[in-house]
Structure 1
């Protein structure tokens, strides 16, 4: 599903709320969550990655459906804290946790994903009781080859290098309160191949087995991270959920030594398909053989095409399909402000464009404050 709203809904939203704006479908969010939950083994926990989209409507919807939450800043922790969830449904990750953030996580009863000994030592100094944490490990193997978001097996700012784990465990054994009781490996990013995900997750479980057998680590939780992908173009196949679920079931059967909880942290998969960004054409310009459509918003709202080279799907509302080539440009004073090259019907100033799959890594990732353009509204649609 590339677009959460049809043309009539897009026109109504634009007339009611103005443009540019983001709209999120509660129905689409529910469908994504329930479809994924239905194929997973019962001991797989879904923890929504708040970084994908922290909109209160999304958080409340996923919480009501039983989600846990993966946070990466004190701001995200505060948004989840406002949901008033019972303890044990929030995780706190990130490579640069400040002492104030760790203290807040400790007070909230949040499960910390420790990135190194610094996290462990600071928590230990603050705690007055036993605290279980998960240790993020940076594997010595390339778990999602060529993925620039995850990175390879070279140097990384994330986690503890696999070869450094034995030395860290020796130091951690001297701590008074903190106990390592879980493993965290961020496994993939925007991966739609169920077979490849099975291979990646199998490698993580093999790593966990090695750490368990060679170094005596015990795991209440193994966190596979996020990485479940969604299509951004009509010719891209969606993730085969049934095959994905079967893959996880098979891996759990193969790893009978591990009897506790697996965790997945989907963000894009759950939130992406529920969002649509609406913006109007301001002007059309032809320059040395290139036809530009200059829009009300650009990378200040949708920076993802610049970061990844992957444009969001787009259509001209009420105009059907077209064959004219356009370079979509935004209003910012930089030639980097491009949203992709697309084929659309002939456009004119005032035409409404709808960008699909913008429920994840949309407004919250944009260069919102550059040039001080107004921040577009975010509309929750039931």
Structure 2
């Protein structure tokens, strides 16, 4: 890990030297991504499948790195579906998300998506009308908004209470009755995704156990033969305490017993992970333009801001960062500096909400130094309001995947 970080920092330093103005950049470590994704996929037990949710980061080099390692991609719009099919003709694709247009459903059927995750009876009925002219059947999962007793809530909930996502469990009998009269739509199973930002491995195992128990109950009650259960994503990244991440070893180690006792023999469990796969491979770098003190607070102003890196504001946290010293100082007057104090890192936007880190302790940071934010590989650039104030976009580059011999020598 330290060697990967050193390579990232070296590439940022080289870009800063080559730049003719303060640097603002994203860099993605594709070799680090490959190793992480290979570990996650390789540690899943038999009967589990890993799909990558491309909404987290749909850059082509990211997808090309992940395609050989995952079972397929999860998309949530017609645009994402077209992007995947344009570049990956044969990769399995699943289509999730609310508010699908008829044109998106038609494209999904025509482009042969593996499964559509249906959000309502209305969507089922529209899909049936769309499928008919194709003279084929379409596999679906019913996304169920399931209310669970003692559900441990996280900072982002999509189910277990009134939300626009999924079919309330009380409406399931009506959907199943409708499906019995429409053989052009094939029920493959259920999709559950009640929460995101889960950091507790044991709590997540308990949640999946509840999913499996409920699916078994429905199979017995309605005499269903299903193929799969999609348990969504939901595994979080600990931005506030980077050294205390989700315990994947405990989680993956608990899956075999969970599946064995489920009573759902032969039913596959699908994961659609996004943030947990790509967050750690990305870095956002800002060069410091100004350091100013105001009413007892110290503000470090960087080139860029939340219009490029919206993650801290979206998640409501102070994002961790590294300071990379830059020795060059092109002016005759003294260099502004903050030492052994707490700083807030802000950007160039005309709003006090342009805040990336707040009251963070720092040993030393000077104007012209670089501030680098890790865990910027998911829901970072891709959810940001890029053109606010018409600032230029950051430059972006990708550190390449290494050949096997190189990677083996590095690990040794």
TM-score over 0.5 (shorter chain): yes
Q: Distance in 2 between matches of 1:74 and 1:63?
A: 19
Computing the radius of gyration from Cα coordinates, the structure with the larger value is 2
Shift of 1:350: 1.6
1:231 alignment counterpart: 238
Partner of 2:354: 337
The secondary structure found in structure 2 opposite 1:331 is coil
Match of 1:301 among 299, 308, 321: 308
Describe the shift of the 1:235–1:51 C-alpha distance in structure 2 as closer, same or farther (beyond 3 A). closer
2:354 counterpart of 1:354: no
Change (3 A) 1:147 1:66: closer
Instruction: Determine the C-alpha separation between the residues in 2 that align with 1:157 and 1:309.
Output: 23
Alpha-carbon offset, residue 283 of structure 1: 1.0
For residues 38 and 303 of structure 2, what CA distance do their matches in structure 1 show?
A: 35
Identify the residue that residue 5 of structure 2 maps to in structure 1. Answer: 5
1:192-228 deviation line (CA, Å, top 9, x unaligned) = 3221111011111111112111123332110000022
Aligned in 2, Cα 1:225/1:15: closer, same or farther, shift over 3 Å?
Answer: farther
1:245-324 correspondence to structure 2 within 5 Å: 245-318=252-325, 323-324=340-341
1:119 to 100, 116, 123: 123
Correspondence 1:99 to 2:116:
no
Matches of 1:143 and 1:180, distance apart in 2: 29
Give aligned pairs, total. 380
Aligned mates of 2:378, 2:339 — CA distance in 1: 27
Describe the shift of the 1:260–1:151 C-alpha distance in structure 2 as closer, same or farther (beyond 3 A).
closer
Q: Specify the alignment match of 1:211 in structure 2.
A: 218
Q: Structure 1 residues 80 and 208, CA, compared in 2 at 3 Å: closer, same or farther?
A: same
On the 8 A contact 2:45/2:255 being kept in 1, the answer is: yes
CA–CA separation in structure 2 for the residues paired with 1:299 and 1:214:
50
Q: State the alpha-carbon separation in 2 of the partners of residues 76 and 322 from structure 1.
A: 46
Q: What's the offset of the Cα at 1:233? A: 4.6
Q: Choose which of 174, 185, 192 in structure 2 pairs with 1:178.
A: 185
Higher relative CO (Cα under 8 Å, sequence separation at least 6) belongs to: 1
Pairing partner for 2:46 from 34, 42, 47: 42
Q: Distance in 1 between matches of 2:88 and 2:281?
A: 24
SS at 1:14's partner residue? Answer: helix
Distance 2:385 2:174 in 1: 41
Q: Could you say what secondary structure the match of 1:222 adopts?
A: strand
Equivalent in the alignment of 2:395 = 377
Partner Cα distance (2:380, 2:244) in 1 = 22
Q: Identify which range, 132-141 or 223-232, moves more after superposition.
A: 223-232
- Tell me the TM-score normalised to structure 1 length: 0.93
Call closer, same or farther: CA 1:270–1:115 in 2, change over 3 Å: same
Please give the alpha-carbon distance, in whole angstroms, between the structure 2 residues aligned to 1:136 and 1:369. Answer: 35
SS in 1 for 2:36: helix
Q: Which structure 1 segments of 5+ residues have no match? A: none
d(CA) in 1 for partners of 2:397, 2:224: 46
> 1:312: Cα distance to partner?
2.8
| Helix, strand or coil at the partner of 2:365 | coil
Cα offset, 1:349, TM superposition: 2.4
Q: 1:361 to 1:142 in 2, by over 3 A?
A: farther
Whether 1:328 and 2:328 are equivalent positions in the alignment is no
**Distance of 2:365 and 2:151 partners within structure 1:** 40
In 2: Cα distance, 1:255 partner to 1:85 partner: 35
CA distance change for structure 1 residues 5 and 142 in 2, over 3 Å: closer, same or farther?
A: farther
Q: Is the 8 A contact 2:141 2:190 kept in 1?
A: yes
Matched, 1:86 2:90: yes
Distance 2:58 2:3 in 1: 20
1:17-55 Cα deviation digits (max 9, x unpaired): 772111111111111111112221122111001011111
| Structure 1 Cα separation of the partners of residues 398 and 102 of structure 2 | 35
Of stretches 5-14 and 152-161 in structure 1, the one that deviates more from structure 2 is 5-14
2:23 counterpart of 1:19: yes
Residue 310 of structure 1 deviates from its aligned partner by 2.5
SS in 2 for 1:27: helix
The CA deviation at 1:248 is 1.1
Task: Give the Cα–Cα distance (whole angstroms) in 1 for the partners of residues 75 and 2 of structure 2.
Answer: 26
